[in-house]
Amino acid sequence: MKAEISSNTAHLMVSRGEAAGRKPQRLTIGRIGIYTFLIISAAFFLLPLYVMVITSLKTMPEIRQGNLFAFPEAFNLAAWMKAWSSACTGLDCNGVSVGFLNSFKIAIPSVIASIGLAAWTGYALCFWRAKGAEFIFAILLAGAFIPFQVFIYPIVRIFSTIGLFGTLPGIIIVHVVFGLPVTTLLFRNFFVGLPIDLFKASRVDGANFYQIFRHIMLPMATPIIVVAVILQVTGIWNDFLYGLIFAGRENLPMTVQLNNVVNSTQGVKEYNVNMAATIITALLPLLVYFFSGRWFVRGIAAGAVKG
């Protein structure tokens, strides 16, 4: 199925605006209907982004009196400042900036480690006939579909025993382990698509397991590495559950801090600060999305199973 998705989305990407359907017609009732539907849908999809941005630029009195969709009277960045550096999550009042750094501390090593392991595993699965390899792959694949709650408690116990619970290495390991199915799948499917003669020729030339990986396969895999990086960066940045349980108080990622800021029951609700914090949290994945567009599409099709 995954291979199907990637070839389909590959098709989607190359066909830039080339609708294969029917010839364009003159402006008929049907065409007006289609455009109306598309415009209303676009408004529905953009609405939360719009509301988020304008709310963050308003002052609280303006929010209390005004209309959710009304444009702010003046661009007020005070809420952004507060969200970044002094919004409160329970007792601490350091804003989401702490979480921002924590998310980087978690994401960078997790992305590198998980992609390295996935490329390596995908390569071994695809080109080398090892007994039981398909079985390992089947377990990983099935694991991608199973809710995390099935694994969580024993992992907490194991990590507590060996001192990894609530530490930075602990959360990184969790990301690597549970990112492995989807990323391995990406690499395996990519390698399956490469001509086998390439591999055979390298063997004939006397290259060993590691050399073929390092000098032949890895350089060829650049496009899929890009897809995997985008997928993992956004996936790990957006993670909430793993970070909540495994990161520990010192390393809580941004999503967890954001939720604590907004859903904290203490004090008066400051909707402008909440929305500013929300945008700041969404900023990195949104930038990645808008700048990587077509690569991103390939990733989400594979990554959707991650949930």
Within 226-265, the residues that bind another protein by CB under 8 A are 234, 237-241, 245, 255, 258-259, 262-263
DSSP 92: B
In three-state secondary structure terms, 89 is strand
Rounded to 5°, the CA angle 100-256-248 comes to 90
| Residue 256, CA atoms < 13 Å, CB-side half-sphere | 22
Both tokens assigned to 148: 């995390």
* Mask for 9-48, x = binds another protein (CB under 8 A): x-xx--xxxxxxxxxx-----xx--xx-xx--xx-xxxxx
- Considering only CA atoms, which of 102, 93, 91, 95 is closest in space to residue 81? 95
In three-state secondary structure terms, 170 is helix
Q: Tell me whether residue 67 or residue 222 sits nearer to another protein (CB atom).
A: 67
The answer to whether the beta carbons of residues 121 and 180 sit under 8 Å apart is yes
Exposed e or buried b per residue across 22-35, where buried means at least 16 C-beta atoms within 10 angstroms of its C-beta: eeeeeeeeeeeeee
Cα-atom radius of gyration of the chain, to the nearest Å?
23
Applying CB under 8 A, among 75, 139, 205, 215 the residue interacting with another protein is 139
Residue 132 CB, shortest distance to another protein, in Å, is: 8
The answer to whether the beta carbons of residues 99 and 247 sit under 8 Å apart is no
Q: Looking at 4-12, 72-80, 91-99, 218-226, which segment touches another protein (CB under 8 A)?
A: 4-12
Residue 230 CB, shortest distance to another protein, in Å, is: 9
Quote the CA–CA distance of 226 and 125 in Å, as a whole number: 20
Applying CB under 8 A, among 32, 78, 108, 138 the residue interacting with another protein is 138
Residue 155 CB, shortest distance to another protein, in Å, is: 6
Both tokens assigned to 141: 């694949």
Per CB under 8 A, contacts with another protein among 152-181 are 152-155, 157-158, 177, 180
* Mask for 181-220, x = binds another protein (CB under 8 A): ---x---x--xx---x--xx--xx---xxx----------
Q: How many helices (H) and strands (E) does the chain have?
A: 15, 0
Per CB under 8 A, contacts with another protein among 47-106 are 47-49, 51-52, 55, 63-64, 67-69
Q: Looking at 84-92, 142-150, 164-172, 218-226, which segment touches another protein (CB under 8 A)?
A: 142-150
Residue 221 CB, shortest distance to another protein, in Å, is: 15
Q: Tell me whether residue 36 or residue 86 sits nearer to another protein (CB atom).
A: 36
Residue 123 CB, shortest distance to another protein, in Å, is: 8
Q: Which amino acid appears at position 125 of this protein? A: L
Residue 286 within binding range of another protein, rule CB under 8 A:
yes
Q: Tell me whether residue 73 or residue 134 sits nearer to another protein (CB atom).
A: 134
Per CB under 8 A, contacts with another protein among 103-132 are 117, 120-121, 123-130, 132
Which residue, chain included where needed, has tokens 């529905």?
Answer: 44
In three-state secondary structure terms, 49 is helix
Residue 249 CB, shortest distance to another protein, in Å, is: 14
